[in-house]
Structures are given as C-alpha cells and as structure tokens.
Amino acid sequence: MTLKTIFALNPALDRAALHLAFAQAGLLQVRDVLTSESAHELRAALARGTPWGMAVRAGDGAGSPPRSFSAEALRDPATARELNDAAQAAARASARGDYGFRYSHCSMVEAVRQGGSGGGLHEIILEHINSEVFLGFVREITGFTDLSRADGNATLFGPNHYLGRHSDSHVAEGWRVAYVLNLPPDDWHPDWGGYLQFLDEEGDIVRGYRPRFNSLNLFAVPRLHSVSYVTPFAPLGRMAISGWFRDW
C-alpha cells in the first residue's frame, strides 16, 4: 500500500508556542497538525481500510474487564447478540455511576500482528506515529524527551457511543502522554457530542475539546477525562487515531 502524503506535519506550526501552552496546562489541542492534503488522505484511507469492531465495558475492576468484538466475529449472529447484551450491561453500569464505554474500534497493533504480510494500512500508520519525525514533534511539544514509542487504535464514535470518566492510570505500563488525532467529518457540530472532556475531582468540566478535523489532542496522564455521549442524530462518525506515547 502506498500513501502519498500520510502524516506530513504542517510546517507552519509554532512549536515554541505549543510547548509553552502544554507546559502551562499539561494538555493541548494542536489544530491543523497535518497538511490538509495529508489529513484528508489519512481520513479516507482509515475509513476505507479499517474493519470496525466494538469495544465495551460495564464497570471498573477485575470483575468487569473490557471486551473487544472484532468485525469478523460480529458476522456471527450469536456474537452480535452477545455484543448487544454487553452494551446493555455497560448502559446499566453507567446508569449506576460506574465506569462504562461503548464505541467502534480496531486495535492497529493487533491488526498488524494478525495481518501476516507487511505493508498494510495500519502498519504504515503505526510506523509514521513511531517515526523520529512524529515522535520528535511530540517530545518537543510536551517536553517529555524520553518518549520512545507509541501504540495506536482506530476509533469511531457513532450515535449512542461514549467513554466514561477515567484517568488512564497505567503509568507502570509506560504511559506518559495520551493522544487523539481527530478525523471526523468537517465542522463537527457541538450538538452532536463526542467531546473530549477533562474533569476535576468534583466532576466539573474544566476543559473540553471539540473533535475538530485534523487536530491532535495531547495530555499527560493520569488525568480525569471522558468522551461525551454522541447523540442519536449525529452523523457517523467521530473517527480518530488514539493511544499513548510511552517511555518504554
């Protein structure tokens, strides 16, 4: 697979200003992070080439692990019914105030692992995220000079999808900076939901980012955050590449 312009950084970015903004708040949305041509090509390729499964969780703790249903598995009616039951359980957990989520996803690391021959779309994306050009950019902006690699997931928040409040407290696994590269439809309307929200300990929203096309959200973890409920009338969907930059 060949992609002409994938992950071409916008040369007009003011890196010094971005570094200062991140240093002050520990979080940042970089707008127009890629060139326009690169961002549009990436969005089209990801939409066309991703087998969307589902990620669901109903409650926090060892007794309620996250569940992942692959696109292939969901072709089985029995598995589709199992997903529906899991989604209802997630809704009940969230109604109680427990942790829950439901959204479409594809683990790019797992897709590469299962893909056999190299050169596929998700492998190319991971290679560019882990390139010295992109890693160096993130190190420069965040000040985390020891970042050594990143993982990645393709995510798609459609109507009735959400990600409950959590903190990404996996520091022992090397997580330092979470990222979301937004590739939704142009001019995502605020009424459609799908905002990345940051909360204080009392549950007040202290900052929220609209999922702007071609924007990169970066934030140091752990930090309380969520993705707000996507409304039933929202278009499909809030597509992104997300994951964590790690120091090992």
Domains in the chain, please, with CATH? 15-52+105-246 (2.60.120.620)
Q: What angle do CA 80, 227, 28 make, to 5 degrees?
A: 140
Cβ atoms < 10 Å from Cβ of 235: 13
Which amino acid appears at position 3 of this protein?
Answer: L
CB 141 within 8 A of CB 199: no
What does pTM read for this prediction?
Answer: 0.94
Contact yes or no for 22/147 (Cβ under 8 A): no
- Angle, CA 134 vertex, CA 128 and CA 138 arms, to 5°: 140
Beta bridge partners of 163: 101, 227
Position 3 pLDDT exceeds 90 = no
Average predicted confidence (pLDDT) for the chain: 94
Q: Is 199 exposed, middle or buried (0-12, 13-18, 19+ CB in 10 A)?
A: middle
Q: Which of the four pLDDT bands, split at 50, 70 and 90, describes residue 117?
A: very low
Give the least confident one: 119-123, 150-154, 203-207: 119-123
CA distance linking residue 203 with residue 10, whole number of Å: 35
Structure confidence by residue, pLDDT tens digits, 167-205: 988 766 899 999 999 999 999 999 999 999 999 999 999
Length of the chain: 248
In this prediction, residue 109 carries a pLDDT of: 86
Listed residue (4, 8, 7, 21) closest to 152, CA to CA: 7
Question: What is the per-residue pLDDT across 27-86, written as a single tens digit (0 to 9) for each?
Answer: 999 999 999 999 999 999 999 999 999 999 999 887 889 999 999 999 999 999 999 999
